[in-house]
Chains A and B, each alone.
Chain A
């Protein structure tokens, strides 16, 4: 039982990933992925660990990518999930959370997206995140850029701006993201913080721009999260975000494994354009 309180077993985790494979694999393919494994289930955080180095006992057909992991770690071999079998193998390792890089391993300095992680400081919740997310969308609309929201599957909301162009780099995206976060904070200092300090976050939304970094990872779309219930990071429409913000309806943006699969059948992959849309950030 990986989710004891929800009664969601390891078999069900594997089953979810098998069914969501068609949608999630394109988003993981070609990217170094960090596994967050919960061998004793989601309640035993002491047993849980992040795994960057792809396990040595992996099957031969699991692909890896040699990528810079940090100033001390140097280059290490990350797992790359490019197929259903690899995804199933990860799931049976109790790798509940999959955290891919924002860049492809063949071009590790070039992110394919600009990403914002909107993280609410209690008592703020995802509704406040939605309000900030809509302001983000408006800013990018001004520049004629499309942006795409997804739930973090945990407490917050994430906004991705697809780039997929060869001229970008983290040296461009990170300062840009930081400037956006600072501007949001300047406009509404009582609602937004751009700094990581926990104490300053109370009741505000932390616009985390720092994930636009070569060595950082962000939770994958469709990845399960290690919460009490098997919620997943789920792509949503801006209409849904607007609805949640207007109706103060946080629950409307919580999706568990079964609902995610239903939504996929209804809407297809709402995040598909993130992989294809070529956009360029404006020069400032």
Chain B
């Protein structure tokens, strides 16, 4: 069962529907590690205090705002938490709008909303009503310590929640006037018609499955080829995660050998070599 990343309640008017939030995106990026080329040793990042080699434990690290160069206002975890938006568990519907009125530039990350236990009927009712009306709900909710705007859409009896950007987060084209055309250039009507024809000839039904991440596929193929071939760098095992275990084992080994030597000394000077000879004789047969 998929794990909910948030639980809360959709509320508007007198209607409250307890829901669970699930991610609608499977991240398929390939994680690449950094290693030293010569021997495959893993590259590790250490947090050290500037100007020293001292590693700083997490407990001693606080956040700060840099007012001017090298002058900071430290902000403790408690102070930041006190300012965080109140952790309400509500998806508060503000308005209902038509989907085509929303510029896709405002859409951020998609999630699925599922009914909480016992709320299946209310959930289905809401999904059905929204489907019938053809509207999208615009709502506010607090998620991961941040206030979000979101669009709730129905489809096949399932509600989708897409987080949205606030208007002041979106850069207007006019703010990029030095690089984006402002007002538009004069173009010949005939040229526009030709371009339109070309667009027409390429027009098809949108099929998301027709496009795949070719870079990812090529990278995977490359990794597979190299893993099979001669170019695999094995990390030096000396950098084992438990650096303390081995020296202990070595001391134990050292003591063990010394103890055996001690025990055997009174009887024989040298350890018996009989077994080895026997096996060699057997092998010669």
Known: A52-B228, A72-B224, A73-B227. A270 touches B283 (CB 8 A): yes
**Contact yes or no, A50 B256, CB < 8 A:** no
Contacting residues of chain A (218-253) with chain B, CB-CB under 8 angstroms: 237-238
Q: State in angstroms the CA–CA spacing of A202 and B105 once bound together.
A: 61
Q: State in angstroms the CA–CA spacing of A196 and B275 once bound together.
A: 33
**Contact yes or no, B273 A272, CB < 8 A:** no
Chain A, residue nearest B220 (CB):
A72
B238's contact among A49, A52, A179, A196, by CB below 8 Å, is which?
A196
Interface: B27 (CB within 8 A): no
Contacting residues of chain B (217-240) with chain A, CB-CB under 8 angstroms: 223-224, 227-230, 232, 234, 236-238, 240
**Contact yes or no, B250 A183, CB < 8 A:** yes
Size of the chain B interface, CB-CB below 8 angstroms: 37
Interface: B249 (CB within 8 A): yes
Known: A138-B271, A183-B250, A213-B237. A277 touches B279 (CB 8 A): yes
Interface: B186 (CB within 8 A): no
Chain B, residue nearest A53 (CB):
B228
**Contact yes or no, B246 A182, CB < 8 A:** yes
**Contact yes or no, B250 A272, CB < 8 A:** no
Chain B, residue nearest A184 (CB):
B250
**Contact yes or no, B246 A49, CB < 8 A:** no
Q: State in angstroms the CA–CA spacing of A144 and B252 once bound together.
A: 17
Interface: A210 (CB within 8 A): yes
Chain A, residue nearest B237 (CB):
A210
- Using Cβ atoms and an 8 Å threshold, which residues of chain B touch A284? 249, 252-253, 256
Please give the distance in Å from B112's CB to the nearest CB on chain A: 29
Q: State in angstroms the CA–CA spacing of A108 and B45 once bound together.
A: 34
Chain A, residue nearest B247 (CB):
A182
Contacting residues of chain A (161-203) with chain B, CB-CB under 8 angstroms: 174-176, 178-180, 182-183, 186, 194-198
**Contact yes or no, B227 A183, CB < 8 A:** no
**Contact yes or no, B276 A238, CB < 8 A:** yes
**Contact yes or no, A139 B227, CB < 8 A:** no
- Using Cβ atoms and an 8 Å threshold, which residues of chain B touch A282? 256
Please give the distance in Å from B42's CB to the nearest CB on chain A: 13
B275's contact among A138, A146, A198, A237, by CB below 8 Å, is which?
A146
Q: Per-position contact with A for B31-60: 1 when CB-CB < 8 Å, else 0?
A: 000000011000000000000000000000
Interface: A56 (CB within 8 A): no
- Using Cβ atoms and an 8 Å threshold, which residues of chain A touch B246? 175, 178-179, 182
- Using Cβ atoms and an 8 Å threshold, which residues of chain A touch B273? 141
Interface: B269 (CB within 8 A): no
A180's contact among B230, B234, B253, by CB below 8 Å, is which?
B253
Interface: B75 (CB within 8 A): no
Interface: A51 (CB within 8 A): yes
Contacting residues of chain A (35-53) with chain B, CB-CB under 8 angstroms: 48-53
B283's contact among A69, A174, A272, by CB below 8 Å, is which?
A272
A176's contact among B229, B249, B260, by CB below 8 Å, is which?
B249
Interface: A57 (CB within 8 A): no
Contacting residues of chain B (52-107) with chain A, CB-CB under 8 angstroms: none
**Contact yes or no, B257 A142, CB < 8 A:** yes
Please give the distance in Å from B41's CB to the nearest CB on chain A: 9
Interface: A258 (CB within 8 A): no
- Using Cβ atoms and an 8 Å threshold, which residues of chain B touch A209? 237
B224's contact among A73, A146, A197, A237, by CB below 8 Å, is which?
A73
Interface: B285 (CB within 8 A): yes
Q: What residues make up the interface of B, taking CB atoms closer than 8 Å to A?
A: 38-39, 223-224, 227-230, 232, 234, 236-238, 240, 245-247, 249-250, 252-254, 256-257, 260-261, 271-273, 275-276, 279-280, 282-285
